[in-house]
Amino acid sequence: MDDLTRVREWEADVPPPTDEARSAARVRLQSEIHRENRVTGSATPSRRLVFRVAAAAAVAAVGGTVVVASANRDGNAVPRTSLTAAQVLRKAADRSRSDSSGLPIPRNDQYFYTRTYSTRTPLKGGRAKTWTDESWLSVDGSRPSRRQEHGKIHHDPPLGKHEVAWPPTSYAKLETMPTDPDRLLKELSLGGAGTPDGDRNAFFEICMLMRGPRVMPPGLQAAAFEALAKIRGVELDHDQVDAIGRHGIGVSYPKTSFTFVFDSETYDYLGLRFKGSGLKRVNGKWQTAGWYFEMTSMEKLAVVDRVGQRPQG
């Protein structure tokens, strides 16, 4: 019996997969192909890889949820690393620098296209929500942008000359940020680097910098990871899962609700996990309600010429 026949038999008694399951399976396949190419150097995915992801997609159809894939290529649990959190962050910085040459230098009249994948899981149980969002961000902020978050489309006007926003949303403003980790840490800790309040503030500000469909100029993301490595108290969360189902290593800071997730083998940055809540009005006052964990991963990044244009392939 061939692999495709086995997959078809598994699918025979289950409903068709939802759009969310199809999207998750497609993104998962692209992610695994990317990882396999790094290891084998082959441009063609192996039969075993395609079969494994196809089977996962079939199972995903049963519950309409995203299947969490195995921790590593052999399906075993992620081994606990002997590295410290600071060492993981420095390896992630090195990885970021090695990958930075893949994106062409954009013109100011162009757009960054991003596709992000997000999952939100209620703390008290219940069905997880998933989103695949696409955004077109003006490189220099001089043109209208179209940004999508949690399925909702936002039409952002051009940035004003005197507009102050943190974190910066335009690539041009991000380019003005220091790529020296010591300078960046000092700037984001509001002058209190090395103190508990300053370190906590710097960790939080770097989390804000990495949130959303934001494109990092060369060297800035690496500097952010190296700045995190200099913060005393950063710690490892050994087994984390990103929005596409990839298992990895988490790095967090005590008493904060954010965790950076990195690939456990390549140290690629996979995304940011955080704890959040909704709001409800009770007796005329707003109160938190509906706590959840959310994980967001950028799955695609490209430079395009206009809003609505998608990269080929």
Q: pLDDT for 148-163, tens place per residue?
A: 999 999 998 887 755 5
Rg (CA), the chain: 20
Distant-in-sequence, close-in-space partners of 240: CB < 8 Å, separation ≥ 6: 247, 248, 249, 250, 259, 261, 273
Distant-in-sequence, close-in-space partners of 155: CB < 8 Å, separation ≥ 6: 144, 145, 146
Q: Which helix (H) or strand (E) holds 148?
A: strand 145-149
**238-281: pLDDT as tens digits:** 778 887 788 899 999 998 889 999 998 999 999 999 988 887 78
CA separation for the pair 64, 54 (Å, rounded): 15
Q: Tell me the one-letter amino acid at 221.
A: Q
Distant-in-sequence, close-in-space partners of 13: CB < 8 Å, separation ≥ 6: none
Greater confidence, 19 or 133? 133
295, β-bridge pairs: 119, 273
Q: Distance from first CA to last CA of the chain, Å, rounded? A: 32
Alpha helical stretches, state H, the chain = 3-11, 19-40, 47-63, 85-99, 171-174, 181-188, 196-210, 220-229
* Among 185, 266, 221, CA closest to 93: 221
Q: Tell me the one-letter amino acid at 231.
A: I
**109-136: pLDDT as tens digits:** 999 999 999 999 998 888 889 999 999 9
Whether the upstream peptide bond of residue 178 has omega within 30° of 0, thus cis, is: no
Q: Tell me the one-letter amino acid at 85.
A: A
Tell me: pLDDT of 180 over 90.
yes
Least confident among 1-10, 266-275, 292-301 = 1-10
Distant-in-sequence, close-in-space partners of 236: CB < 8 Å, separation ≥ 6: 81, 83, 84, 85, 88, 249, 250, 251
Are the CB atoms for 238 and 78 separated by under 8 Å?
yes
**26-65: pLDDT as tens digits:** 444 444 444 444 444 444 444 444 434 444 443 333 333 3
Greater confidence, 224 or 278? 224
Would you state the structure tokens that stand for residue 224, as one six-digit string? Answer: 């952010």
pLDDT band at 235 (very low <50, low <70, confident <90, very high): very high
CA separation for the pair 291, 283 (Å, rounded): 20
Are the CB atoms for 264 and 71 separated by under 8 Å?
yes
- Taking each helix axis from N to C end, the angle separating 220-229 and 196-210, rounded to the nearest 10 degrees, works out to 150
CA separation for the pair 177, 171 (Å, rounded): 10
What pLDDT, on a 0 to 100 scale, did the predictor assign at position 202? 93
**70-119: pLDDT as tens digits:** 334 334 455 566 889 999 999 999 999 887 656 777 888 999 999 999 99
Are the CB atoms for 304 and 111 separated by under 8 Å?
yes
Output 259-262 pairs: Cβ under 8 A, ≥24 positions apart.
Answer: 260/89, 260/92, 260/207, 260/210, 260/228, 261/295, 262/88, 262/91, 262/92
